[in-house]
A and B are shown apart, each in its own frame.
Chain A
Amino acid sequence: MGLADSSQDLSTEMEVDAFRRIFPLRFFERHLSESLRPDGRQLGKARDTIVNLGLVSTADGSALAKIGSTTMLAAIRMEVMTPSTDSPDEGCIALEFHMPPICSPTVRPGRPADAAPVISKRLSDTILSSGMIDLKELCLVSGKAAWMGYLDIYCLDADGALFDAALLSAVAAFSNLQIPVVALNDNGRIVAITGGKDQDNASITEKEAVNKEKRKLTLKNIPFSLTCILHKNYILADPTTEEESIMDTLVTVVLDSSDQMVSFYKSGGTALAYSSAIKSCIELARKRAKELKQILGEMDID
């Protein structure tokens, strides 16, 4: 079967689409030989990234991150818990990544997606090991009460590079987080102080000062990630779902704001990653981290 000749414009319109579906590998390789990708990007370039904060009114902090078409909505809700005896001064973060059936044709209702628990665990590990959050800041009353942050990330549209978008939305949600002002009431329970209500003022005033200073978390060492796919000798940054389906293997590099590596992940696959490939991936990740830092910086996030 002959290759569709792309120099014939309109008459091969339909053929190009069919060729793309039937011979995806050859379609991509013809683009890669010209150092381009089907959507016109350079091999090492990531898609347009947008971050929006504070969209969910029922959550204490939320963010929407879009990388190309991949859309992630992250929301944090704070609840009070009793800290464990080995770490009475620390709070806790419970992270969960969901892929609802709306996001992709491969996800069925009732059966969690294959990728979801994997990404959930990796995100959890990355965020905790990067040291972005100091759990001691989540403490309210030492030994008695501390904050438990439930971070839920929902994938609204899955178009490749899910880990990157999820991490970006999680970081943005933490920066948007406003911890509610609370006080300890007589029963030993923490209650929220609402605007106009003036009950139990006497017992509240002491504790109020303690919590007022710590309304926002300080984020140090913010992690930035970049997923690349290796295909023969090509390295493609920020793949779409279509590109991920033809790849040999996937590499994710997570760097923090001081360019130190937080995590490196290469998932099996048919290709071996030589050290030169790994170095190129890390270089691309460094460039991407600068871009992301600028995007987050524009939204006033330190």
Chain B
Amino acid sequence: MAAKPGAATPTYSPKLVGRTRLPILKDSDLDWSRPDGRGFHQCRPALLQTGAVSSASGSAYAEFGNTKVIVSVFGPRESKKAMVFSDVGRLNCNVSYTTFASPTIGQGTDHKEYSSMLHKALEGVIMMETFPKTTVDVFALVLESGGSDLSVVISCASLALADAGIMMYDLITAVSVSCIGKSLMIDPVTEEEGCEDGSFMMTCMPSRYEITQLTLTGEWTTPNINEAMQLCLDACSKLGEIMRDCLKQAASASEE
């Protein structure tokens, strides 16, 4: 009875995972219609919930279209390793993917790059002096990856931190924009990210109108960058409103 193969037998997926490559037409207008029928400047509807994980100090679940993320926050708790004394708190972030997050079978490993980007986005907004000598752990698990993963993780992490009661200067929200040819698309899905010419992700504090992180890759012209920034700031403040409503609902539900 074959229980589990001794050595890893090579397997292949019968499904065809094709990527349509758009011809590189820089000058002409591309007639691109978004797979889910959204407008170019329209974000996906957001579903946000706090208190998803009961064993954590604070947690949140976010679903933006097909991108589903759970973030748990533990702490402030004792710094485990024999670390040097620090009179400000420490932040530890980790982002990992499930093996079924992407359409092709992956290993589901920790995503080191996203972990460090999440760390940089959060360290500007958390008031570390309120928990000296201790560590706050922020762990994210991407259940399904449908595009703009890091932005969803960052927004969800800030919601989880608020649920855990960690003091912050403001909620942070993150939105990404994709540039295909001449058109800018906000909140791209996986197919759009696959054939984009440039990507732009911005994390900002909506009420304070300050940017904590900005990442730009690929080909961008200066007017495009300005337009993308305006789009993102606009979307971030709307997302900030949605997050606040979610927290208010959770707070009033617990009062009952």
Contact = CB atoms under 8 A, between A and B. Distances in A.
B71 interface: yes
Contact of A81 (B11, B98, B108): B11
Interface string A100-137: 11111100111000000000000011001000000100
Nearest to A191: B14
B85 interface: no
A194 interface: yes
B99 A150 contact: yes
Given A156-B70, A159-B55, A180 B99 contact: no
A103 B94 contact: no
A209 interface: no
Given A56-B144, A58-B144, A157 B4 contact: no
Interface string B121-157: 0000000000000000101110110000000000000
A182 B14 contact: yes
Interface residues of B, number: 43
A152 B14 contact: no
Contact of B16 (A87, A109, A191): A191
Given A57-B144, A58-B101, A77-B100, A192 B15 contact: yes
A152 B2 contact: no
A192 B2 CA distance: 25
B99 A152 contact: yes
A79 B103 contact: no
A192 B102 contact: no
Contacts of A241: 55
A59 B100 CA distance: 7
Contacts of A192: 14-16
Interface stretch (B72-80, B203-211, B218-226, B234-242): B72-80
A69 B54 contact: yes
B1 interface: yes
Interface string B1-44: 11111000111111110000000000000000000000000000
Contacts of B9: 81-82, 84, 92, 148
A84 B6 CA distance: 11
A69 B103 contact: no
B53 A103 contact: yes
A102 B100 contact: no
Nearest to B66: A57
B96 interface: yes
B110 interface: yes
B96 A100 contact: yes
Given A58-B103, A92-B5, A102-B71, A157 B11 contact: no
Given A58-B144, A100-B139, A152 B12 contact: no
A56 B55 contact: no
A73 B108 CA distance: 14
Contacts of B16: 191-192, 194
B139 A180 contact: no
A137 B101 CA distance: 27
Contact of A124 (B3, B11, B53, B80): B3
A286 interface: no
Interface string A75-107: 101011111100100101011101011111100
Contact of B94 (A57, A81, A109): A109
Contacts of A125: 3
Contacts of B15: 180, 192
B105 interface: yes
Contact of B141 (A79, A102, A189): A102
Nearest to A140: B14
B56 interface: yes
Contacts of B96: 100-101, 109
Given A92-B5, A109-B94, A80 B55 contact: no
B100 A124 contact: no
Given A80-B11, A82-B9, A109-B110, A102 B59 contact: yes
B12 A79 contact: yes
B100 A152 contact: yes
A158 interface: yes
B14 A94 contact: no
B2 A159 contact: no
A26 B137 CA distance: 32
A190 interface: yes
A204 B114 CA distance: 43
A125 B4 CA distance: 10
Given A79-B11, A156-B70, A191-B16, A105 B55 contact: yes
Interface of A: 56-59, 62, 69, 71, 73, 75, 77, 79-84, 87, 90, 92, 94-96, 98, 100-105, 108-110, 124-125, 128, 135, 148, 150, 152, 154, 156-159, 180, 182, 189-192, 194, 241
Given A108-B80, A150-B105, A152-B100, 17 more contacts: A56-B100, A58-B100, A75-B100, A77-B13, A80-B12, A81-B12, A82-B9, A90-B1, A92-B4, A96-B99, A98-B98, A109-B96, A125-B3, A128-B3, A192-B14, A192-B15, A194-B16
Q: Which 10 A-B pairs have the closest CB atoms?
A: A109-B94, A79-B11, A102-B72, A101-B139, A69-B54, A81-B11, A75-B100, A192-B14, A157-B53, A190-B14
